[in-house]
Amino acid sequence: MIALAAMLMAAEAFSAPLNLPKPARVDMRVEYHRENIRSGRTETTDASATYEKTVEPAASGYRVQRRLVEAKIASPPGGGTKLQTAFERATRRSVVYLADKNLNPRTVEDWSGVAAEMRADLLKTADMTQDEAASLGAFADNVARMDAAQATYVVARDDRILTIPVNQALKRGKPLHFVDALPNPFGGMPIKSNGDLALEKTDAARGVDIVRWSQSLDPVEAAKSISQALSTMMGNDAEARALLAQLKFDSSTDCLFEVDTRYGLPVKADCTMRMTTFDPVARQNLFRNERWVITQTLKN
């Protein structure tokens, strides 16, 4: 009876402190799908990447060496913009980053060198229209202006997602609510977000806890922040600034995590994001749907 009660209590609570070998060797696999929907037309981009990571303790948490083993980016005929394909190719690369005690990436080592390589890769993109080349050049310049902390949201975004449930303590029926200020990767002021983290269930047979995370950006602050960043990129173009003032933006994300209860390491994240942007030039909504499945396997 006591053993049964203990099992029931464990199923109602989640607490799996991170307890990795030193160093830990982890394989990470990412499968990504994006749909951009505009004027009834859907453009798609599919990407996958495999990494080998070495995680070692550091003064403020961990130092993670992430080596790219393989990356594939596919845009079916008639879909997938050159800009998105170029972005995926440039950001899926080998990097070293410093993380906090929850494995959350904080800074990219030698970011100036990594940024220079990314910028060069972006500008190598061939067969671009004049407008596409101008947009890509502006993005490449923006990459070069990012600091090492902002860069983690670009080159370590998959790693960052996986850390959300790390070292958290949850009880069933009592979600952890949080308000956060996310850095704007385009520059500009941070974007306010609201989120919840909740225990779904415990799968004792597989040795994992199932945790759900949801997040929504404050649409007013998001539009203001992104408009501010793009306005800086556009300089003194008064007409462009007036159009940006009409920008509207809404985004929500939902992820289901599986966390290894022995090591406290998330071994899977299945996430979807839905985003709506109002284009003041075309006077229409643009829709983006994304799904990414990330898996991790501890090798030692």
* CB contact at 8 A, 2 and 159: no
List the single range of 73-82, 125-134, 210-219 with lowest mean pLDDT. 73-82
- CATH number, domain of 85, equals 2.30.230
- pTM beyond 0.85: no
List the single range of 25-29, 81-85, 176-180 with lowest mean pLDDT. 81-85
- 225-282 per-position pLDDT tens digit: 666 666 655 556 666 556 556 566 677 899 999 999 999 999 999 999 988 776 655 6
Q: Provide CB contacts within 8 A for 58, sequence distance 6+.
A: 98, 99
| pLDDT greater than 50 at residue 7 | no
| pLDDT greater than 60 at residue 66 | yes
Asked, for residue 3, whether it belongs to a domain, the answer is no
* Residue ranges making up the domain that contains 60: 10-298
Question: How many domains would you assign to the chain?
Answer: 1
Q: Provide CB contacts within 8 A for 230, sequence distance 6+.
A: 186, 244, 247
Mean pLDDT of the chain: 83
Asked, for residue 210, whether it belongs to a domain, the answer is yes
Tokens of 168: 């958290």
Comparing 202 with 275, the larger pLDDT belongs to 202
H or E element: which one contains 118?
helix 111-123
Asked, for residue 237, whether it belongs to a domain, the answer is yes
Asked, for residue 5, whether it belongs to a domain, the answer is no
